[in-house]
Every structure is written in structure tokens, then in C-alpha cells.
Structure 1
Amino acid sequence: MIYLDSAATAPMRKEAIAAYAEAAEKAFGNTQSLHDAGSAAADYVVSCRKLWGQFLNVRSDGIYFTGNASEANQLAIRSLLNGRPTTCRQIVSTKLEHASVLSTLHELEKQGYTIDYIEVDRFGQVDMKAFEQAVSEKTALVVMQLVNSEMGAVQPVKECAQIAKRFGVPLHSDIVQGFGKLPVDITSWGVASAVCSAHKIGGPKGVGIAYLDPSIHWQSVYEGTTHQNGFRAGTIDVPGIVSATIAAKLAISEQPNSYEHAQKLQDYLLAHLPEGVAATGEVTTKSPFIQGLILPHVEGQWMMLDCNRAQIAISTGTACKIGYGEAMSAMLAMGTEPDAARKFIRISFHRETSTRDLDEFIQVVDHSLAEFTSSL
């Protein structure tokens, strides 16, 4: 199968698989246990925390491991809010956030928070003037993703964090689609918390990585929890964490070359798109790893199934949104008409994607569009 859905999950690296197997054999102990097996497992986790601190340029004592990035987003947002003054009840964000963030914000709204969704332009870029006007001393938290999952829009997280810091407001950023693909420096950006996902960079599923700035006050979501300084309850998955760390180390080392490869694939795709197919996002500023496309007269779901019959894997938006409008909320936020939004498909690249893969995809799309037109 030609795999063009790496934004949903990337193929697992052989090195990450080998690391998992080795850690599962050697570090099987519970990190909370006081015997030698527990201590050995805990040592692995300490080493992984140090490496993640280097990857993100942050203090290692602010690194926490979760069951996935969706959980990490929810815990980080709520933990930061628990540490904020009770008089601060406003949250500033956009409607381009990942489903795990949007669902959390929806729940918080029911709990009395006011959510200000800042508008974005047709390329998915946040309106910085409106953002600056929205943030104040009453703001509890700013939530701003780095890279959008549907079309790859990159937000000015550093600039947003600097504006928020003027009012003493922390900023949380979901950097899942950016880590290992774009340069990331959390400390220089001034971000209070950030979240990564192992399976987006060739690591295992079931491992999320969260960073919370140790200098910022936060309170646990789970009262009485002793694991990971109270951030998350439950036994730590040591083999998964080791595997995720190896995958991250490789992704970081390959990042410049991976980005250049993705740019070449993006240029090739845009130069060979079938007539009538429109690309979303601003090509000069977006992530080249994610390509959102709007078809001329065929619904995205239909094209996805047609590609699957040809053994080509694509998507109609973020995997976590399947069954809930998929990319609809993001497209509508960018000003796309509902009818056009239903014609949305997404392809995304990994290090082994080739122009030959794109040729196969383009051929299927071209044939499907022609076949659909002739049947009308």
C-alpha cells in the first residue's frame, strides 16, 4: 500500500521497535517499586526525561509521560488552569485546534470559562491584532497549536507567548504535528506547556509527552496522585517511553533533511495537481508535511474510498475527528463554504514518501474525477 496518511500515524521505525523489545526485557520493573528491578526501570525513565529536555530545550524535571497526546493536552490545560487565580476565567484559542483540545475547551465552557476563539484568515493564520486585543490580566490561559492537522498552517507561537507573557498569562501549545519536522525551542519561545506524540514520529502508539514549565504554578487534576509528581496517575510504560525517545532522537537528527524532502514533495504535488483540485494553506509559510486538498465536484469520503481501493491511504482530516465532521470545523473557520469543506481530503508525508507515490495518487484522483464527471 502507498501510505499518504502520516499525520494520522507514521510507520514505526525499526530502531524504535528494537528499543521497545530491549527495554521490555531489561526494564520490566515498576518505577514506583523500591527494589532493584524498580530502580533499574526508573533509571531508564530518568535518562529519557533528560533527552526530551534536550530535544525541546527545557528543564527535564518538567517532562511527563502520558498514554497519548490527547490525554497530555487535557491534563496540561487543566493542570495549568488549576494553578491560575480563580478570578481568571477567560481562555483564548482558535477553532483550528486538535479535537482533544476543542473537546476540553467545550467542557471548560460548561464549567464557567469563557472561550474566545480568535479568527483566522483563509490560510489558517491567526489574526494577531485580534489576538493581542483579546488577551488581558483576566485571561487564564492561551491555547495555540504549532501546526494545524488539516492543512498544515503554522501559527506564530513564539509571538503569541510573548504577548501573553506581558499579562502573566501562560501559553499551552500542541506541537504534535511540528515536533521532529520543524525546529522547536520551547524555552526561547516562552511556552509554558507543550505536548508531543510518539507515534507521529515513528515511535509507538500509546505514549504522549507533556512539558510543564517547573517555574509556573500548576495543580494536579488527580487529587492524591503520587505518580510523576501528581501529573498523571498510573504505572509508567517504560518500554514505550524508551522507544518513543529513540524515535524522537532520530527524528531530531533527520529534521533538516526531512523538511527539505517534504518541501520537494509539496512542490511536485502542487505542480502536478489535476485540474480543479485546489490546495489549502499558504505554501510559503505552512508545514510541507501536510497537504489539504479540496476537490472540484467529489466528496472527500468518496475519494478516500476510491484511493483505498487502489491501495493508497489518504484521509478526510484528523483521525481523531472521524465521525465528528472531520475537517469541517477547521475549514469553516478559514471561511470555506460547507459544500466545499465536504470535498476536502488530506495527504501527509513521511521520510520514505516518494514522487512515484504521488504520481500514483495523482493518477487515481484524475481518473476518479473523470469517471465521476462522465457518470453525471
Structure 2
Amino acid sequence: MKYFDYAATCPLDRDAADIFIQASTKYFGNSQSLHEAGSASANLLESCRQEFSRLLGVDKAGIYFTSGGSEANYLGIMALLSAKRKNGNHIITGAAEHSSVYNLMKKLEREGWEITFLPMDRNGKIEFTRFIEAVRPETVLVSIQHGNPEVGTIQPIINIANYCRSKDILIHTDCVQTFGKIPVAPLAGWVDSLSTSGHKFYGPKGTGVAYVNPKLASKPYIEGTVHEKGFRPGTVNVPGVAAMTAAAQKAHSLMETEAQRIKKLRTAFIDSLSDVRESIEIFGAEGDELLPGIVGMAIKGLEGQYVLLECNRKGFAISTGTACHTGMLSPAKTMSAMGINGKQAKEFFRISFGRETSQEDVVDLGKMLAAIIAQVPAI
């Protein structure tokens, strides 16, 4: 099976796996315990915290380890709501946010908060002018995803955050798709909280990082919690955190060369479809406003699920959107947010590249998609 679903999850890096095994056998103590084994785990945990603060360029007092991006999103947003700078009950978010954010916003809406869900343009971008128009005097929080997981468009988070500062509005950003692929540190100092997830950059599943500005007077979501300074309950997964940290270090060391390689793969893939270009549509922005490893596309006249099943039958693993959305009858949220609905929206499927993807692989995938198009009349 040739794997083209790296935006959903990555295989565990072998070096990170070795770190996980070593930490599991040598640093198995509860990091909250006062004995020597606990202290050893706590020291390792603090070293990892220091490293993430370095990679993000933020105060390590704001780094919290979580069970993944979803928990980091949930707890980060709730921390900001507990520390809002002014009175108000209005929140602005994107219409295509990850389900962990979208579902939380729907929950808050039922509890009396007013939520504005911003649509995207046809390139998958939230228009800055539309964002400004949505801001009200009672707006207290903005949560906008940094990189879209379905079409790869990168949002102008620094511009949005700068405007939020001028209006005493707190801002959270979901960096799950971007951390380890493009530099996140330049925006980390502008936002009030952000999230990452270990398995998106070759770390173990069940690990993540939330950053919350330590200068904010945020309150624990669950009172009486002692782990991670009250940020979350449950014994900290120290071996997982250590492995995630190793994976993050490697991802950053390879970031520039890997980004250039992925751009070449994208070009080769699109070139391989040149003979059938009129039968396909590729979504998303271009250049520096795009994660090149994500290709959101459609074959005109074919449902994305059919294309997925045909690819799977021929040994290629692709997806029809984010894994958290798979199984739902509704089309990908990004399509709806871009104003694409009905039959056209259900044509969407996603291809994503990673470290093990070769140029031969992408060309073979392009040829296979072209063959699918050739077999269907009147596309």
C-alpha cells in the first residue's frame, strides 16, 4: 500500500520509538510522586517542556502536555474564556475548524455564547476584511486554524492576532497541521494559545502540546486537578512526551529540506495529471499561503468516496477529508465553508505527502487517477 494520508496521521519515527521504549523502562515513575523515580520523570518532563518552549519561542511556563490536538484545542480555548480581558459573550471562529473546535463552539452556543462562523473564499482563505466586519464590542475570543487540513490553505494569523490585540480580544490558533512543517514560532508570540499534536509530525499518538500565555489569569477547567499545574487531569504520559519531543526536534531539523522536497512532489503529481487537467479541480491557495503536502481535489462527476475506494483497491491510501469527519454523510466542512455544496462538494478527496513519499509514487498515483477518469464516460 502506497500511503497518501499523512495529513490524517504519520507513522512513528523510529528514533522517537526508541526514545519511547527507553523512557518507558527508565522513567516510569509518576512525575507527581516525591520519590526518586518520580523526580527523574519530572526532570525529563521539564526538559521536554524547555525544548518545546525553545521550538515555539515562548515562555516554558505556558507549555502544557496533553493527550493530543483535540484536548489541546478544548483546554486552550476554555483557558482563554476563563481569562477574557473584557465583558462579552461573542466568539469568532472559522466555518471549517477541526471538529474539536467546531463541536466545542456548538456546545458553547447552546450554553448562551454567540458564535460567528466565518466562511472562506474559493481558495480556502478567511478574508481579513470579513473578519474585521464580524468583530463586535462584545467579542472576547477568536479561534482560527493556522493551516487547513483539507485544502492546505494557511490563514493570516499574525494579521488577525495583531488586530485582536488592538481590541483586547484573545486569540487561539490550531497549529496541528502546521507545526513541524512550516515555522510556527513567528506567530506563537502573537497568539494567546495554540495547539499541536504529536502524531502529525511522526511522534506517538495520544500526545500533544497546548501553549497558553502564562501572563493570562486563566483558571483550571477542572478544579482540584494537580497534573500539569492544574491544566489537565491524569498521570502525564512521560515516555510519550519524550518521544514526541524527539520527533519535534527531528521535524524542525528537516523542515527546510523536506518542504522543498514536498513542493517538488506536488509539482510532479500535478504534472502527471496534465492530460486530464480539464476533468479535475484542485482547491486551495498557492505559494507561501499553502501547505504543499496537502492536495485537496475533485474529479468532476465522480464522488470522492468512489475515488477513494478505487485507489484503495489498487494499493493507494487517500482520504475524503479529515479523519475526524470520516463516516459522516455530509461533505467535508471545508467545501461548505468555501460555498461548495451538494454533488460538487461530495466529489472532494484529499491526497497528502510525507517523508516516505517518493516521486515515483506520486507519478504512479497520478497515472492511476487518470486511468479512473478514462474509464468513466462524459466526465
Q: Same fold (TM over 0.5)?
A: yes
Q: Which deviations, in whole Å up to 9, do the C-alpha atoms of 1:116-167 show, x marking residues without a partner?
A: 1223210011111121222244112110111001000100000000000101
The equivalent residue for 1:372 is 376
What one-letter code is carried by the residue in structure 2 that aligns with 1:336? I
Distance 1:65 1:130, change over 3 A: same
Alignment match, 1:100: 100
C-alpha distance in 2 between matches for 1:335 and 1:198: 32
Report the more deviating stretch, 201-210 or 324-333.
324-333
For residue 305 of structure 2, the aligned residue among 283, 301, 305 is 301
2:120 matched residue in structure 1: 120
Aligned partner of 1:279 in structure 2 is: 282
Q: How many residue pairs align between the two structures?
A: 375
Query: Could you tell me which amino acid in structure 2 is paired with residue 125 of structure 1?
Result: K
- What letter corresponds to residue 4 of structure 2 in structure 1? L
* 1:291 maps to amino acid: V
RMSD: 1.6
Instruction: Report the secondary structure of 1:222's partner residue.
Output: coil
Q: Indicate whether 1:323 and 2:319 are aligned.
A: no
Is the 2:58–2:189 contact (alpha carbons within 8 Å) kept by the matching residues of 1?
no
CA separation in 1, counterparts of 2:77 and 2:186? 16
Mean CA deviation greater in 66-75 or 265-274: 265-274
| Match of residue 233 from structure 1 | 233
Match of 1:36 in 2: 36
The SS at the match of 1:191 is coil
3-state SS of the aligned residue for 1:44?
Answer: helix
Q: Secondary structure at the match of 1:373?
A: coil
Residues 69, 196 of structure 2: 8 Å contact kept: yes
CA distance in 2, matches of 1:86, 1:61: 24
- 1:252–1:344 CA distance, 2 compared to 1 (3 A): same
Q: Is the 8 A contact 1:64 1:209 kept in 2?
A: yes
Shift of 1:330: 1.0
Aligned to 1:17: 17
Whole-angstrom distance in 2 between the partners of 1:188 and 1:313? 33
Residue aligned with 2:236, SS: coil
SS at the partner of 1:37? helix
Equivalent of 1:337 in 338, 341, 355? 341
Equivalent residue letter for 2:178: G
Q: Normalized against structure 1, the TM-score is what?
A: 0.96
TM-score (norm 2): 0.95
Deviation, 1:78, is 1.1
Which moves more between the two structures, 186-195 or 361-370? 186-195
**Which residue identity is paired with 1:281?**
G
Where do 5+ consecutive residues of structure 2 fail to align? none
Equivalent residue of 2:350, what SS? strand
Question: Who is 1:87 aligned against?
Answer: 87
Q: Which residue of 2 aligns with 1:254?
A: 254
2:225 aligned partner, one-letter code = T
Q: Give the superposition deviation at 1:326.
A: 6.4
Deviation at 1:82, TM superposition (A): 1.8
> How much has 1:187 moved relative to structure 2?
5.9
Q: Structure 1 residues 147 and 325 mapped into 2: Cα distance closer, same or farther (>3 Å)?
A: farther
**1:172 offset after TM fit, Å?**
0.3
**Amino acid in the other structure paired with 1:352:** E
Match of residue 167 from structure 2: 167
Structure 2 counterpart of 1:261, which letter?
R
- For 1:250 and 1:177, the matched residues in 2 are separated by 16
Letter in 2 for 1:321: H
**What aligned pairs does 1:122-161 form with structure 2 within 5 A after superposition?**
122-161=122-161
Letter in 2 for 1:277: I
Q: Deviations over 1:52-82 (max 9, x none)?
A: 0011110111111111111110111112112
Matches of 2:233 and 2:256, distance apart in 1: 36
**Equivalent residue, structure 1, for 2:177:** 177
Partner of 1:159, secondary structure, is helix
Percent identity reads 38
Alpha-carbon distance in structure 1 between the residues aligned to 2:171 and 2:348: 30
After TM superposition, what 4+ stretches of structure 1 lie above 3 angstroms from structure 2?
186-189
For residue 210 of structure 2, give the secondary structure of its aligned residue in structure 1.
strand
- 8 Å CA contact retained: 2:27, 2:238: yes
Mapping 1:66-81, distance limit 5 Å: 66-81=66-81
Contact 1:147-1:175 at 8 Å conserved across structures? yes
Q: Is the 8 A contact 1:150 1:346 kept in 2?
A: yes
Aligned to 2:363: 359
Q: Which runs of 5+ in 1 are unaligned?
A: none
